[in-house]
Amino acid sequence: MALRNIAIIAHVDHGKTTLVDELLKQSGAFRENQRVDERVMDSNDLEKERGITILAKATSVVWKDTRINIVDTPGHADFGGEVERILSMVDGAIVLVDAAEGPMPQTKFVVGKALKVGLKPIVAINKIDRPDARADEVVNEVFDLFAALDATDEQLDFHILYGSGRAGWMNTAPEGPQDQGLGPLLDLVVDHVPAPKVAEGPFKMIGTLLEANPYLGRIITGRVFSGSIKPNQPVKVLSQDGKTVETGRVSKILAFRGIERQPIEEAQAGDIIAIAGLSKGTVADTFCDPSVTEPLQAQPIDPPTVTMSFIVNDSPLAGTEGDKVTSRVIRDRLMKEAEGNVALKIEEAEGKDSFYVSGRGELQLAVLIETMRREGFEIAVSRPRVVMHKNEETGQLMEPVEEVVIDVDEEHSGIVVQKMAERKGEMVELRPSGGDRVRLVFFAPTRGLIGYQSELLTDTRGTAIMNRLFHNYQPYKGEIGGRNQGVLLSNQAGEAVAYAMFNLEDRGPMIIEPGDKVYAGMIVGIHTRDNDLEVNVLKGKQLTNIRSAGKDEAVKLTPPIRMTLDRALSWIQDDELMEVTPKSIRLRKLYLDSNERKRFEKTRAAG
C-alpha cells in the first residue's frame, strides 16, 4: 500500500483537531454506530478543559489504496518543541488558516519551520462559513508570509483549498461544491505530497514522541528512516553524540490505524510506528540495528526563555492535602517530564530541595504544574523569570524579546498602547482587522509580558485577543515597574472568620473564603495601597450574655477574587511563592516570619 506522511499545522483555535475528526469520520475509520467524542485527538483532561492541543499525536486514514499518516500538532508557541520534532517525521504539511483571522504569529512560527526543512505545504482556508470571512485577502496574506519567510519558488506555488472543517468539506473554490466532503483535500495529499524518502541500509529510526504505558512500559514513536523491523529483533540505542545508551529487543511494534494502535508483524521504511520494550531510549535518540555506528541527526530545538523554581513545600499546611511531597519524588517526576519534552530544561539547585525548570513560556510551565497537582504532588513555585544571556563579544546583557499581536476593539487601542509602552513594548504595526477592530503588533521583552494577559482583558472588557511569539534576543531594556498594590497577610494560623473578613473589606479585596485554613505569612487579600499589611482574619465577634436590642444581621461579604493557577503565577512578586496542592492554590511570602521578611527587605535595599 502506498504511504503518505503529513502534519497539520496552524495557529491555536484555527481548527486542526476538528479537521482531523472529520477526516477520520469520512475515511471510514469509525464504525457506523460508533460513539465518538468531539476533538477525539485531544486525549488528556487538560486538553479537553482548555480546548487546546498540548501533545502532538499521530493517526492514519486509508484513502484510495493509500495510507495517510496524519500528525496533529499543538498551536501554542509554548509547545513549539513538539512541532519542531514532528516536522522531521513528515513529507508534507497542511497549513490551516482561519478565513477571518488570517495568518497569526504561531502560523508564522510553524510555517517557517516547515519551509526550512523543505516541505511544500498545502494551504487550507478554514472556517469559510464565518460571517466575517475574507478568503481572498487571507490568501494574499499567506503568500506574503511565505515570501517573508524566504520560501523557494516551488514552495510559493502552493495549492489552495477553501472549506469548513466542522461542516466537513473542502474544495478549490470558496463557494464549494460541498457535496464531495473532504475528498478534494485527501486527493491533493495523495497526488502532491511525495512518498516517504527511504534510505538504503539496516533499520534506523529517530525517537520523536515518548509516552509511558502501564502494560508495555516506554513507548517511542518515530518514523522508520531505513530498513525494516520485526518484534523480538535486537536493537541498539545511540544518543546524539554517538554513544550507546542501551541494547535490547523490541517487544511490540504498533502501527497507527485510525485512532487505535494495532500490533503489526513488520514495519517498513517510511512508516510512522511506535515501539515498546526498551527502558532507556528517549526523544532524539537513534533506534537502530546493532551494526549501525552513526546516529541520525535530530532537528535543533529553540532554547527555553522562561524559568521558575519548583520548591519542596515547607508551609505549615505541607503534607495535609497531597501525598507526593519529598524532593526525591519531585525530582524523579521532573526528570521524567524532561525526557519526553525536549523544550524543558531541569537543573537542581544547590540546596537540593528546589529545582530550576526552564521552558518556552508561562503556559507550558502552568500545564506542567497543573498535571503534577492532579497526580497528588504538593509544591511551591516562584514567579516566572526570563532566561538572560550575555553577549560574548560585547559583554552586554541580552534578554528575550517577543512579537506580540493584539486584536482589539478600536475604542480600547489607546490603553493597550499605553500599557505596552510602560512594559517597554515597541509598536511596529497598526492596521484595521475588520469590524471596528484593529491589530496592534509590538516587539516587547518577555519579562514585561509576564502577568499582562489578565490586565489586558480587564482593560479591554474581555474583548482583546493576544498572541505571542519569540522573536530574538536584544540588549536589556532596563527596569520595568512591577505590581503597584501590596498584599494583606495573615498574622496567625487558624481558620478564616467571616466577621473578621467583613471588617477588613475597606483594606482591599480578599482572595480567601470564610473557613479557609490560613497561616502566618500567607496572602489573604490585595491591599488598596502599595505596602504590605499584616491583618487578623481569625478575630470573631465578642460575645456577651446581654441580648442586644437589634437582631444581629447576617454578615454579607463581597465575593473574593478567584486566583486561578495561571493568574496567580503571573500576579505574585519575586518575594512571594504559590503553594500548589491537589485541592488548593495558596499564595504566601517566601519568608513566613515577619522579622525574617524585614531582614530580607533591608538586605535587598542595601544590596
* Each residue's pLDDT tens digit, 226-241: 888 898 989 988 888 8
- Determine the Cα–Cα distance for residues 119 and 516; give it in Å rounded to an integer: 55
Q: Which H or E run includes 572?
A: none
pLDDT in tens, 62-86: 888 888 888 877 655 555 555 667 7
Residue 313, pLDDT > 80, answer: yes
> Is 14 among the annotated ligand-binding positions?
yes
| Topology adopted by domain 403-475 | Alpha-Beta Plaits (3.30.70)
Could you tell me the three cell numbers for 494? 487558624
Residue 605, pLDDT > 90, answer: no
Nearest to 2, CA basis, from 207, 260, 198, 226: 198
* Per-residue confidence band for 381, with pLDDT thresholds at 50, 70 and 90: very high
Give the residue, 472 or 433, on which the prediction is more confident: 472
Mean pLDDT in residue range 23-43: 52
> Is 129 among the annotated ligand-binding positions?
yes
Residue 524, pLDDT > 90, answer: yes
Handedness of CA 496, 501, 503, 504 (dihedral sign): positive
At residue 335, the pLDDT reads 86
pLDDT in tens, 168-212: 888 888 887 888 888 888 899 899 888 888 888 898 888 887 777
Alpha-helix residue ranges (DSSP H) falling in 40-160: 45-50, 80-86, 105-116, 135-148, 153-156
At residue 200, the pLDDT reads 85
Mean pLDDT in residue range 41-61: 56
- Rg of the chain on CA atoms, in Å: 27
Mean pLDDT in residue range 594-602: 86
Alpha-helix residue ranges (DSSP H) falling in 73-134: 80-86, 105-116
Mean pLDDT in residue range 402-431: 89
Could you tell me if 289 and 203 are in contact, meaning their C-beta atoms sit under 8 angstroms apart? yes
Residue 27, pLDDT > 80, answer: no
At residue 174, the pLDDT reads 84
Residue 236 φ/ψ, nearest 5 degrees:
-115, 145
* Per-residue confidence band for 40, with pLDDT thresholds at 50, 70 and 90: very low
At residue 33, the pLDDT reads 42
Could you tell me the three cell numbers for 430? 497598526
At residue 42, the pLDDT reads 42
Output the DSSP codes for 201-222.
Answer: SS-EEEEEEEEEETTTEEEEEE
Residue 573, pLDDT > 70, answer: yes
Could you tell me if 5 and 196 are in contact, meaning their C-beta atoms sit under 8 angstroms apart? yes
* Overall CATH class of domain 204-288: mainly beta
| Mean pLDDT taken over the chain | 82
Residue 29, pLDDT > 80, answer: no
Query: Which residue type does 538 have?
Result: L
Stated pTM of the model = 0.75
Could you tell me the three cell numbers for 544? 456577651
> Is 17 among the annotated ligand-binding positions?
yes
At residue 47, the pLDDT reads 47
Residue 251 φ/ψ, nearest 5 degrees:
-85, -35
2-192 belongs to CATH 1.10.10.10: no
pLDDT in tens, 321-343: 888 888 899 999 888 888 767 77
Residue 57, pLDDT > 70, answer: no
- Determine the Cα–Cα distance for residues 410 and 423; give it in Å rounded to an integer: 21
At residue 588, the pLDDT reads 92
DSSP 8-state secondary structure symbol assigned to residue 411: G
At residue 550, the pLDDT reads 47
Could you tell me if 566 and 366 are in contact, meaning their C-beta atoms sit under 8 angstroms apart? yes
- Determine the Cα–Cα distance for residues 287 and 268; give it in Å rounded to an integer: 14
Could you tell me if 531 and 486 are in contact, meaning their C-beta atoms sit under 8 angstroms apart? yes
The architecture of the domain spanning 487-546+553-569+587-606 is: Beta Barrel (2.40)
At residue 548, the pLDDT reads 56
Could you tell me if 258 and 272 are in contact, meaning their C-beta atoms sit under 8 angstroms apart? no
> Is 313 among the annotated ligand-binding positions?
no
Edge-to-edge, what's the strand order for the sheet holding 523-526? 523-526, 487-490, 533-535
Residue 545, pLDDT > 70, answer: no
Could you tell me if 36 and 14 are in contact, meaning their C-beta atoms sit under 8 angstroms apart? no
Residue 60, pLDDT > 60, answer: yes
Mean pLDDT in residue range 1-9: 85
Could you tell me if 322 and 378 are in contact, meaning their C-beta atoms sit under 8 angstroms apart? yes
Structural domain boundaries of the chain? 2-192, 204-288, 403-475, 487-546+553-569+587-606
> Is 127 among the annotated ligand-binding positions?
yes
CA atoms within 13 A on the CB side of 144: 9
**582 SS3 class:** coil
Instruction: Tell me the angle at which helices 183-192 and 16-26 cross, rounded to the nearest 10 degrees.
Output: 90
At residue 7, the pLDDT reads 85
% of the chain exceeding 90 in pLDDT: 13
Give the residue, 29 or 537, on which the prediction is more confident: 537
Residue 478, pLDDT > 80, answer: yes
- Determine the Cα–Cα distance for residues 242 and 304; give it in Å rounded to an integer: 25
Task: Look at strands 533-535 and 487-490 and give their pairing.
Answer: parallel
At residue 77, the pLDDT reads 53
> Is 15 among the annotated ligand-binding positions?
yes
Could you tell me if 181 and 26 are in contact, meaning their C-beta atoms sit under 8 angstroms apart? yes
At residue 526, the pLDDT reads 92
At residue 554, the pLDDT reads 67
Residue 518, pLDDT > 90, answer: yes
